[in-house]
Structures are given as C-alpha cells and as structure tokens.
Amino acid sequence: SSFFDYNTRNGQVDTSFLSVTGLAYPLWCGLVDGNRPLSNEIVNTLMTNLAQDGGVVSDDLRNNVKGFTGQWDWPAGWAPHQMITWMGLMRLGYLTQARELASRWVRLCLKTFQVYDCLPEKFDVVHCTSRIDVEYGNQCSEKGEYFGWTVAS
C-alpha cells in the first residue's frame, strides 16, 4: 500500500513507482492514524522497497525506466526525507525500523564526513556514497562544505 501521484490533466493515479512521499509522509502527518493494518502495510512496503544500506531512497527503481537521473530519483536520499521517515515511524510506534534507518543514514553521513570532510545535500544511499551524478550536481560536496539539512539530520 502507498499513496500515489495524481495527474490532474488526465484524472489518473500514477502507480508506476513508489516514493518516500507516498509512504513515509502519510505516517508522519497522521494520515493513517488509527488504521494499524494500513500502517503495517505501508511500513512493510517502505522497508521492502525504499530502505537501502545508506537510508531511505527517494523512489524505487521503476521510476528510472528512461535512464534519466533526476536529483530526486533513485538512488538519491535526502536528509528531509530521512527525518520525516524516522519521525513518522516513531510516531506510530515502529521504533525498531526508525532506529535502523536512522543508524544507516548517520553511518553514511559519518563516513562521508571522515573521508571527504563534507556533508552534501544528498547521497547515493544505494551505494553509500556522496559521489552522485545527477542534474544540478550535489551542493556542498567539496572539502569543508556542509549542507544545512544534512547537518541537522
């Protein structure tokens, strides 16, 4: 189960890919409060499809069928998505999953800080690296640069 994008032009729901916004945000904002079967399904889908070695990826691989690597696409992971995912999981009592995902992200940030002396805006959470080649580059990926939301995470 997930929440999906809705195309207002053609009136269709796009179920061709899963995203952190369709899975974690409903947990975080209380959209599934009181519906344990639905929240269990969403958490299982999130952990099965988006949880990677370095944290939560923005969307699943199916979104990258044309070979285009947009900055929000697989394999990118962003600090705001990580924090919203952890808070949503904790809010509904999924503490084990929240701790596991937070640990993965923090390990990736720490490794990047130790090796490159930077904390960039996004990471390749699949391959656990800050060296990610996407549109618009990767802000604060040079030595001595630190991106605010990554530092906050």
Mind listing the pLDDT tens digit for each residue in 35-88? 899 999 999 999 999 999 999 999 987 666 666 567 778 889 999 999 999 999
Whole-number Å distance between alpha carbons of 35 and 103: 27
pTM tops 0.75, yes or no = yes
Distances (CA, A) of 74 to 35, 49, 89, 114: 29, 11, 22, 25
Q: What is the chain's alpha carbon radius of gyration, rounded to the nearest angstrom?
A: 16
pLDDT of the residue at 1 = 67
